[in-house]
Structure 1
Amino acid sequence: MKKLTLKLSLSLILGLSSTLTFATENGADSFALGAEGMMAGALPPPGVYLLNYYQNYHAGSFDQGPDSFHLDVNAFIPRLVWMTEQNYLGGQLGFYAAQPLVDLRLNINGMSDHNAALGDLILGSMLGWHQGNHHWIGAIETVLATGQYDTPTSAQPVVANIGKNYNTIRPIIAYTYAPANGLDISTKLSYSFNDENDDTHYKSGAYFAGDYSLGYKLNDHVKLAIEGYAFKQLKSDHLNGDDIGQKGQVLAVGPAIQYQDQNWSIEAKYLKETNIENRPEGHTGLLKFIWAF
Structure 2
Amino acid sequence: MKKNAIASAALVLLAGLSSLAAQAEGHYVPGVEGTQAASVPPPGFYYLGYLVNYNINSFRAPGSSDNLPGHNGGTVTALANRFVWMTGHKVLGADYGVEAIVPLMRTSLTINAAGISDSRSGVGDIYVGPLVLGWHGAQWDAVAAAGVWMDSASTTFPASPGKGFKSTMLTGGLTYYFDAAKTISGAALMRFERNGKNDAGFRNGNQVTVEWALAKAFGPMQAGLVGYSQWQTSNDSGVGASLNKSSRHALGGELVYPVAPGLALKGAVYKELSAEAGSTPLPKGSLVRLSLVKAF
Q: What is the TM-score when the length of structure 1 is the normalising length?
A: 0.86
Amino acid at match of 1:175: L
Instruction: Quote how far apart the aligned CAs of 1:246 are.
Output: 2.9
Amino acid at match of 2:186: I
Q: What residue is the counterpart of 2:151 in the other structure? A: 145
Contact 1:194 1:203 in 2 (8 A): yes
Q: Does 1:194 align with 2:199?
A: no
Distance 1:22 1:47 in 2: 40
Query: Which whole-Å CA distance do the structure 1 matches of 2:37 and 2:116 have between them?
Result: 39
Residue number in structure 1 paired with 2:48: 51
Q: 1:214 maps to what in 2?
A: 214
Q: How far apart in 2 are the matches of 1:34 and 1:166?
A: 22
- Given the alignment of the two structures, is residue 29 of structure 1 paired with residue 35 of structure 2, yes or no? no
1:85 aligned onto 2:123: no
Cα displacement string for residues 90-116 of structure 1 (whole angstroms, at most 9, x for unaligned residues): 011011111100100001114201100
Q: Deviations over 1:216-248 (max 9, x none)?
A: 0011x10000001100101111124x7521311
1:222–1:52 Cα change, 3 Å:
same
Provide closer, same or farther for how the CA distance between residues 47 and 230 of structure 1 changes in structure 2, counting only shifts above 3 A.
Answer: same
Q: Is the 8 A contact 1:259 1:266 kept in 2?
A: yes
Alpha-carbon distance in structure 2 between the residues aligned to 1:268 and 1:168:
28
* Distance in 1 of aligned mates of 2:45 and 2:36: 18
* Structure 1 counterpart of 2:267: 268
Q: CA deviation at 1:29?
A: 2.6
> 2-side partners of 1:258 and 1:139: how far apart?
24
Does the 8 Å CA contact 1:23/1:236 hold for their aligned counterparts? no
TM-score (norm 2): 0.85
1:113 pairs, out of 105, 115, 118, with 118
Quote the offset at 1:23 in angstroms.
12
CA displacement, residues 133-154 of structure 1 (integer Å, 9 cap, x when unaligned): 111000002100001112x6xx
Structure 1 residue runs of 5 or longer lacking an equivalent are: 1-16, 153-158
Equivalent pair of 1:252/1:273 in contact (CA under 8 Å): yes
Equivalent-residue separation in structure 2 for 1:234 and 1:42 (angstroms): 26
Could you say which residue in structure 2 is the equivalent of 1:255? Answer: 253
Contact 1:258 1:268 in 2 (8 A): yes
Letter in 2 for 1:138: A
Output the amino acid matched with 2:205.
G
Shift >2 Å, 4+ stretches: 17-29
Specify every segment of 5 or more residues in structure 2 that has no aligned partner in the other structure, as ranges: 1-7, 18-23, 63-67
Report percent identity of matched pairs: 27
Q: Deviations over 1:141-169 (max 9, x none)?
A: 2100001112x6xxxxxx11210110000
In 2, the alpha carbon distance for the partners of 1:20 and 1:246 equals 18
Would you say the 8 A contact 1:23–1:248 is kept in 2? no
Counterpart in the other structure of 1:166: 165
Q: How many equivalent residue pairs? A: 267
| SS of residue matched to 1:202 | coil
Classify 1:249/1:176 alpha carbon distance in 2 versus 1 (closer, same or farther; 3 Å). Answer: same
The answer to whether the aligner puts 1:99 opposite 2:96 as a matched pair is: no
Q: Answer yes or no: is the 8 Å Cα contact 2:139–2:182 preserved in 1.
A: no
In the alignment, the residues of structure 1 paired with residue 15 and residue 172 of structure 2 have an alpha-carbon distance, to the nearest angstrom, of 22
State how far apart, in whole Å, the 2-side matches of 1:85 and 1:268 are. Answer: 29
Tell me which amino acid in the other structure corresponds to 1:139: A
Task: State the alpha-carbon separation in 2 of the partners of residues 139 and 32 from structure 1.
Answer: 16
1:66-85 paired onto structure 2 within 5 Å: 66-67=68-69, 68-85=71-88
Aligned residues of 2:268 and 2:289 also touching (Cα < 8 A):
yes
Question: Does 2:284 correspond to 1:281?
Answer: yes
Matched residues in 2 for 1:274 and 1:22: separation? 21
1:107, 1:113 within 8 Å by CA — same for their partners in 2?
Answer: yes
In structure 1, give the amino acid aligned to 2:285. Answer: G
2:131 corresponds to 1:131:
no
CA 251–205 in structure 1, closer or farther in 2 if over 3 Å, else same: same
